[in-house]
Amino acid sequence: MRIAIGSDHRGFELKIELVSYLKKKGHKVLDLGTFSSTSCDYPLYCFKVGEAVSSKKAQRGIFICKTGIGSCIALNKVKGIRAGLVYNIKAAKFSRLHNDTNVLVLGADFVSFEYARRLVGIWLNTEFEGGRHQRRINQIRKIEEGYGL
């Protein structure tokens, strides 16, 4: 799978570790920055990851910052992105199973590398269930396109 990954300065160290992990698992990784722990603004890098997924340059995306909250908000502004902020195993599973998230957001201050690796593994290996959930995804798309419900 081709995965776009990005972070701000607070997520940089975890991003580097996850890039290595993903490559070892055989994924193609598109690292979109940041490339240091120097303070930066996360929306720029969120947009890069979101655009890569939205334009199909990557099948999925991962973004890491301090808490994940602002990044999740920013990513969900990119058309076609369904980003989910995940702090536990069940949320990682259901973000894919029910919401078909295409970008995983992690808060570096809340997950260790080992736990992040578990979350990423579950998220990457869980398929969207479809069914009644597809109807809800379609409703989200209508909202995104400005048509309302």
Catalytic residues, by residue number, are 65, 98
- Please give the distance of CA 92 from its chain centroid, rounded to a whole number: 11
Say which amino acid occupies 12: F
Burial environment of residue 132 by CB neighbours within 10 A (0 to 12, 13 to 18, 19 or more):
exposed
CA angle 69, 74, 78 (to 5 degrees): 140
As beta bridge partners, residue 5 has: 31, 62
- Report the distance separating Cα 22 and Cα 74, nearest Å: 24
- Would you call 88 helix, strand, or coil by DSSP? coil
